Amino acid sequence: MHNQFLASFEAQVFSTTTEQSAPSNIALIKYWGKFAGQIPANPSLSYTLSLCKTLTQMAFDSTQPFSVKLYLSGELNLGFSQKIETYFKSIEMYLPWILMGSYEIQTHNTFPHSSGIASSASGFGALAQCLMDLDKNFGSKLSPEEALKKASFLARLGSGSACRSLYPGLVEWGRSEELEGSSDLYATPYPSSDVHEVFRDFHDWVLLIHEGEKSVSSSVGHSLMHEHPYGETRFAQAKANFASLKSILKSGDLQAFIALVEHEALSLHALMMMSSPPYLLMQSGTLETINRLWAYRKETGHPLFFTLDAGANVHLLFPQGPSSEAIMQFIESDLMAFTQNGGLVKDRMVF
């Protein structure tokens, strides 16, 4: 229990609707491994995307008994409705009114399902924002900053990485001596004054190599880190990488950034290959993309690089700059062949 987020409320009867949105995010330093209560084993850092979002409309009716109906892109989804019902029950101590009414939730994503773009992050981000908006009707006295922090706290309890989706730009989660105010309980915006301008206008183009369901859920992935032969080494590595990244972000050393971000992505996949049971999350198209991208970078020196989530799709990263036009043309002409159905999602982070 986290006392700072406990709340009392004034009971009122009302029905109301709120509409909120939250973007997805892509981690540069990966969160992989957690302890009880959704506490991360290491600090992580992500870019919050701009265009890939979840939009959520929530109708609450306190004259009705507690129930949740969740519609995904207009279709009632019983699995998600059940999941959200369980989630609401789990956070009652932080929002004591939450079980006192019925919810009809309409939600849709601006990006394709199963695309390797974390809809759980944007989904729980938007849901937590809706809840904090409803909280105002129950006499909440929180300032906008405190309400945002609590939304990040609540989103984390739904899906860990979701807590980072509440803030734009670069966002950190996990207590670290390297960042003042950082916490295991909620995300902290990474100060943009400590970020060189080369990192403040970045493209993330997601190449959809495989569009099916993930072969392993992230909760299974996190749990595999408990008995993992490299678990402790990995947590120490991520902490050290965060310290290195801090100075890279400040100095603007793009080559060091590229090396570190790709190493983090490959470490995540190597950890899954080395777990029991093992998982191979890449498809042949993932490997072909990486090899082609590396050859292109070697030939041209253009700063195109990649990161990966726990799946086969490739997030192609590159800064806006003199070579971005050439990079875009290369992606469209040379990398689309590795996609399953020609899928490419273009996003850009400017802050």
Give the interface with ligand PMV as residue ranges (CB under 6 A).
Answer: 27, 30-32, 44, 118, 120, 159-161, 218, 268, 309-310
Minimum CB separation from ligand PMV for residue 18, in Å? 24
Least Å distance between CB 283 and ligand PMV?
17
C-beta of 81 vs 120, nearer to ligand PMV: 120
If the CB atoms of residues 42 and 324 are measured against ligand PMV, the closer one turns out to be 42
Rounded Cα–Cα distance for residues 320 and 29 (Å): 21
Please, which residue, 100 or 121, has the CB nearer to ligand PMV? 121
Q: Toward ligand PMV, which CB reaches closer, 18 or 114? A: 114
Q: Which is closer to ligand PMV, CB of 30 or CB of 150?
A: 30
Nearest approach, Cβ of residue 104 and ligand PMV (Å): 26
- Whole-number minimum distance, CB 291 to ligand PMV, in Å? 22
Q: Which CB atom, from 72 or from 238, has the smaller least distance to ligand PMV?
A: 238
How many angstroms separate the CA atoms of 285 and 166, rounded? Answer: 32
Q: Shortest gap between Cβ of 35 and ligand PMV (angstroms)?
A: 13
Residue 199 Cα distances to 69, 215, 274, 314, angstroms: 41, 32, 32, 19
> Mind giving me the DSSP string for 148-191?
HHHHHHHHHHH-GGGGGGGSSSEEEES--TTSTT--SSSEEEPP
Spatial neighbors of 209 by CB under 8 A, at least 6 apart, are 116, 283, 285, 286, 289, 312, 313, 314, 338, 339, 340
Residue 188 CB, shortest distance to ligand PMV, in Å, is 14
Instruction: Note the helical H segments in the chain.
Output: 78-90, 119-135, 144-158, 218-224, 231-251, 254-273, 284-300, 324-330
- 324, HSE (Cβ side, Cα atoms, 13 Å): 13
DSSP summary character for residue 210: -
Smallest gap from Cβ 82 to ligand PMV, in A, equals 18
User: C-beta of 337: minimal distance to ligand PMV in Å?
Assistant: 26
Choose between 239 and 297: whose C-beta lies nearer to ligand PMV: 239
Three-class SS of residue 35?
Answer: strand
Q: With respect to ligand PMV, which residue has the nearer C-beta, 29 or 72?
A: 29
Alpha carbons 256 and 287: distance in angstroms, whole number = 22
Least distance to ligand PMV, CB of residue 62, Å: 31
Residue found by looking up tokens 């009707």 in the block: 137
Q: Which residues contact 234 (CB under 8 A, 6 or more apart)?
A: 32, 33, 42, 225, 228, 267, 271
Closest by Cα among 122, 116, 50, 75 to 320: 50
R_g over Cα of the chain: 20
Name the residue nearer to ligand PMV (CB basis): 192 or 223. 223
Are 47 and 28 contacting, i.e. CB atoms less than 8 angstroms apart?
yes
